[in-house]
Structure 1
Amino acid sequence: MRDIAKEVYDKMKVGAAAWIRPVAAKGDTIESFQSAYDSAKALADEELIQIVKVQRKDGQIEAIRIQRLA
């Protein structure tokens, strides 16, 4: 399983903000995307990113807004 949060983080510049969303063309589903929040949380715990917003639909995470700190 791919680490969506890490992929987005690697492409960002310091200070930039981005949405993390599942990409159907890469095989992501809302169900499989739930682990992306855990990955983003780990990056936030390391103070590499800040989780700005989490969008939920029917109790499941559908998008995560992050800002790169380092």
Structure 2
Amino acid sequence: MRDIAREVYSKMKVGSVAWIRPVTAKGDTLETFQSAHSGAQALEQEGLIDIEKVQRQADGLIDAIRIQRLA
């Protein structure tokens, strides 16, 4: 399984903001995307990013995460 949060983080510049979303062309589904939140939390604990917003659907599944790169 790919680490979506790490992929997005590596493409960002310090201080920039990005949305992390599942990419169906790369085989992501909403169910597999839920692990991206765990990856983003790990990056936040390391002080590399700040999770600004977690967008959820009505059923509670995460469908987007807004992050800012700190380092």
What is the TM-score normalised by the length of structure 1?
Answer: 0.99
Q: How does 1:57-68 map to 2 (within 5 A)?
A: 57=57, 58-68=59-69
Which AA in structure 2 matches 1:2? R
What is the root-mean-square deviation in Å for CA atoms of aligned residues?
0.3
Taking the aligned partners of 2:47 and 2:62, their CA distance within structure 1 comes to 21
What secondary structure, in the 3-state scheme, does the structure 1 residue paired with 2:28 have?
coil
Identity %: 73
Q: How does 1:8-23 map to 2 (within 5 A)?
A: 8-23=8-23
Alignment match, 1:54: 54
Taking the aligned partners of 1:17 and 1:5, their CA distance within structure 2 comes to 13
What secondary structure, in the 3-state scheme, does the structure 2 residue paired with 1:67 have?
strand
Taking the aligned partners of 2:5 and 2:60, their CA distance within structure 1 comes to 20
Shift of 1:36: 0.2
Taking the aligned partners of 1:41 and 1:61, their CA distance within structure 2 comes to 13
Taking the aligned partners of 2:30 and 2:45, their CA distance within structure 1 comes to 23
Which AA in structure 2 matches 1:63? A
Shift of 1:66: 0.1
Q: Mind listing any 5+ residue stretches in structure 1 that lack a counterpart?
A: none
